[in-house]
Amino acid sequence: MAASLCVTVLAAGKGTRMRNALPKVLHPLAGRTLLEHVLVTAAELTPDRAVLVLGPEMESVAVVAGRSPLAPAIVVQEPQLGTGHALMVARGALPASGVVLVLFGDTPLLTGTTLARLIAARAEANAAVAVLGMRPADPTGYGRLRLESDHLVEIIEDQHADQALKRVGLCNAGVMAFDGARLGALLDALPARPETGEHYLTDAVAAAVASVR
């Protein structure tokens, strides 16, 4: 029997770099908003549950999400203290078993096939977390995936990556698939970054590796 699937979409970002008042995930692309593209792709996976994390005063985003067949449960992240904190806030809406797939509401060009392959790869490895990697033509600004013996052991922010790791060019695409039974322990282990006080979901990889060493 296949494990149950919960799709969680993080969409609390204000999108200040868009230079307008429209929430980032509601900007249009090819006849749909960015968020609608993400929800349509997620629906291809026929998840058992869907959760959408928003910031305060994002009712317009909730309205758009409500039109999706997924009918995601809405969780409000306030204050907004990073991607890891977003999942901490949503914890009560997440299952205690199965698979929790984390997507971003401003990443519209992924396919259901790609997401299904990530979910399958996590299951095959019985991993606490699996991460979608990519090799962009210009990797500037992307977190880097550090491997040991072909196993992911850490995600390092671009500004903290050394030149050897940057030459490898393997980057974090942002999508993560978690074992729901182990997700709670990983969230508990996420540190607050001293420079910002934020909790980064990318630190869950190092936490997962530390838990088995």
Secondary structure of 63-112 as H, E, C letters:
HHHHCCCCCCEEEECCCCCCHHHHHHHCHHHCCCCCEEEEEECCCCCCCH
146-163 exposure pattern, b = at least 16 Cβ within 10 A, e = fewer:
beeeeebebbbeeeebee
Concerning whether 17 is annotated as a catalytic residue, the answer is: yes
Are the CB atoms for 167 and 146 separated by under 8 Å?
A: no
Catalogue the E-assigned strands of 4-48.
Answer: 5-10, 28-29, 32-33
Q: Pick the catalytic residue: 17, 19, 167, 213?
A: 17
The residues annotated as belonging to the active site are 17
